[in-house]
Structure 1
């Protein structure tokens, strides 16, 4: 079973939150809300999209990069974990 299938409910919840946030921006723009309010909403969308991206990348790395590594290939597994650490910091 794929990591996206295992975490389907959680991933879909994130996508639905993003959809709601985008709709809120649309409503604010239609209502001619102050630009600072719209910018704050857009910033929250960016954070939510980064969170979704991170979750998908982590799942992919765990299932398709780290797990398939055969015993004795600890260097590659450690490298993959280091990469995930860097990606986590970058996307936050």
Structure 2
């Protein structure tokens, strides 16, 4: 997936994840950090990773599976992506 270095949306998601992981690391090293707060941060990371996976799958489909084909049914593709996101 060498084409992903150009995708700002994906790069921004990764940077956000890095920030969230750093926040958990900091909280884990803070004696008075709340367990609930750390769990909430971990849940946010889980959601962010799922979002990143969805973006990567869509980028892969568009770049490698569909490619430069001209006859793409965008409606079907969007329905498929919605379904994929719902179950991931």
With structure 2 as the length reference, what TM-score do the two structures score?
0.75
CA contact (8 A) 1:25 1:38 kept: yes
Question: How many residues align structurally?
Answer: 83
> What is the Cα deviation at residue 44 of structure 1?
0.5
Deviation at residue 3 of structure 1 after TM alignment: 4.6
Q: 4+ residue stretches of structure 1 with deviation over 6 A?
A: none
- Gaps in structure 1 of 5+ consecutive residues: none
Preserved contact between residue 3 and residue 60 of structure 1 (Cα < 8 Å): no
Gaps of 5+ in 2: none
Structure 2 distance, partners of 1:53, 1:47, is 10
> CA separation in 1, counterparts of 2:30 and 2:6?
40
Q: Spell out the pairing of 1:24-63 with structure 2 (5 A cutoff).
A: 24-32=23-31, 33-63=33-63
TM-score w.r.t. the length of structure 1 is 0.72
Measured after TM superposition, the shift of residue 55 of structure 1 is 0.5
Partners of 1:17 and 1:5 lie apart in 2 by 16
Q: Deviations over 1:31-53 (max 9, x none)?
A: 13111100000000111111111
More off after superposition, 22-31 vs 81-90: 81-90
Aligned residue number for residue 86 of structure 1: 83
2:18 corresponds in structure 1 to 19
